[in-house]
Structure 1
Amino acid sequence: MDLERIWQLFQAGGIVMYPLVFCSILVLAVTLERHWSYKEAEQFRKGKDEFVRALLEGRWLEPQGASGPIAKLLKDAYSWRGLETSVQLQMFENTAASIMGRFRERISYLETIVTLAPLLGLLGTVVGMIQSFKVLAVKTGQMQAITGGVGEALVATATGLCVAVLALLCHSWLCQRLDRLAGDLEECGAALLTGSSFAAGRRSRETA
Structure 2
Amino acid sequence: MNFIKDCITFFQAGGIFMYPLAACSILLIAAIIYRMFNMRRRGIAPDRLVRAVEQYMQGGLDRRELEERALASRSVLGRLVLETLNSRMEDEASMKEMIQVKAREEFVTLQAGLPLLDMIVMIAPMFGILGTASGLVEIFSVFGMDESHGQIAQGIAQALNTTIAGLAIATPAVIAHVYYSRKLERISAFMEVLLTELISFRYHSQR
Structure 1 length normalisation: TM-score?
0.83
Q: CA deviation at 1:102?
A: 1.0
Aligned equivalent of 1:204: none
Aligned equivalent of 2:106: 99
Paired amino acid for 1:33 = Y
RMSD (CA atoms): 2.5
Q: CA deviation at 1:160?
A: 0.2
Give the Cα–Cα distance (whole angstroms) in 2 for the partners of residues 176 and 168 of structure 1: 12
Aligned equivalent of 1:10: 11
Give the Cα–Cα distance (whole angstroms) in 2 for the partners of residues 30 and 56 of structure 1: 41
Question: Deviations for 1:53-72, whole angstroms, at most 9, x for unmatched residues?
Answer: 53265964625661112212
Paired amino acid for 1:195 = F
Worse-superposed segment, 4-13 or 49-58:
49-58
Task: Say yes or no: does 1:149 pair with 2:155.
Answer: yes
Aligned equivalent of 2:91: 84
Which segments of structure 1 move beyond 6 Å, counting only runs of 4 or more?
Answer: none
Distance 1:82 1:126, change over 3 A: closer
Number of aligned residue pairs: 200
Q: CA deviation at 1:81?
A: 6.1
Conserved 8 A contact 1:12-1:153 = no
Task: Give ranges in structure 1 of 5+ residues lacking alignment.
Answer: 202-208
Task: Say yes or no: does 1:199 pair with 2:202.
Answer: no
Give the Cα–Cα distance (whole angstroms) in 1 for the partners of residues 199 and 3 of structure 2: 62
Task: Say yes or no: does 1:41 pair with 2:48.
Answer: no
Q: CA deviation at 1:48?
A: 1.8
Q: CA deviation at 1:4?
A: 3.0
Conserved 8 A contact 1:111-1:167 = yes
Paired amino acid for 2:77 = I
Aligned equivalent of 1:55: 57
Q: CA deviation at 1:2?
A: 3.6
Question: Deviations for 1:24-59, whole angstroms, at most 9, x for unmatched residues?
Answer: 111121222122122143452345255235326596
Q: CA deviation at 1:183?
A: 1.1
Task: Give ranges in structure 2 of 5+ residues lacking alignment.
Answer: none
Distance 1:97 1:2, change over 3 A: closer
Conserved 8 A contact 1:117-1:164 = yes
1:68-147 matches, cutoff 5 A = 68-80=75-87, 83-137=90-144, 139-140=145-146, 142-143=148-149, 145-147=151-153
Give the Cα–Cα distance (whole angstroms) in 1 for the partners of residues 163 and 75 of structure 2: 42
